[in-house]
Amino acid sequence: MTGIKDKPEENAIEMMALRSMSRAVYSTDNIGHYGLAFQFYTHFTSPIRRYPDMMVHRLLTKYLNGAKSQDKAYYEENCKYCSEREQLATDAERASIKLKLVEFMQDKIGQVFDGTVSGLTEWGMYVEIEPTKIEGMVSLREFTKDYLVFDEEKYFIVAKASGRKFTLGDKVKVRVLRANMEQKLIDYELIWEE
């Protein structure tokens, strides 16, 4: 990622890379560690923060004290449960943060902000505004000044009449259209600057 250091698209590309990474799943099956190139790998934190860490600590203590191999099925069931609970906790954390962001933006309806294109899809352009870094979406179908189309292969949005292109990291101006508490959505309107 050194080629994008200090460039406008740096934050957007870092976020996309993080979002594309698969979540860790707890398991008794040793699959090594791809990134570290370790054939055998386990991970736990100290001080203990999560129950999976506690399981590893307890197993290590048992084995250091000469215990025989423990019941794999029992630990696999615990791993599955912990993975599910951690995903639920992550989802709840994201939802609560999103709710607070939408609540924060409710009195900003109509205000104009500088922003950076942080994501592109067939239905819209995600923009992160300054200085808060709050992300919202510019809907392509609500844009009336030109016909915007997402080019999935080249990963940009193009305005058909003017030929203007929008890519990750582009600087834009947006107006806050909606901050919907029920749906936890923030909608922006692109300010078209010729």
pLDDT digits (tens, 9 = 90+) for 71-120: 999 999 999 999 999 889 889 999 999 999 999 999 999 999 999 999 99
Which residue's entry shows tokens 């949005």? 157
The mean per-residue pLDDT over the stretch 33-51 comes to 76
Helix (H, G, I), strand (E, B) or coil at 117: strand
pLDDT band at 12 (very low <50, low <70, confident <90, very high): low
Query: Do 125 and 190 meet the contact criterion of CB atoms below 8 Å apart?
Result: yes
Taking the C-alpha atoms of residue 74 and residue 51, their distance in angstroms, rounded to an integer, is 14
Identify which has the larger pLDDT, 42 or 52.
52
CA 157 – CA 31 distance, rounded (Å): 40
User: Which residue intervals of the chain bear CATH 2.40.50.140?
Assistant: 110-190
What is the CATH number that goes with domain 110-190?
Answer: 2.40.50.140
> What does the pLDDT look like over 151-163, one tens digit per residue?
988 989 999 889 8
Higher per-residue confidence, 50 vs 114: 114
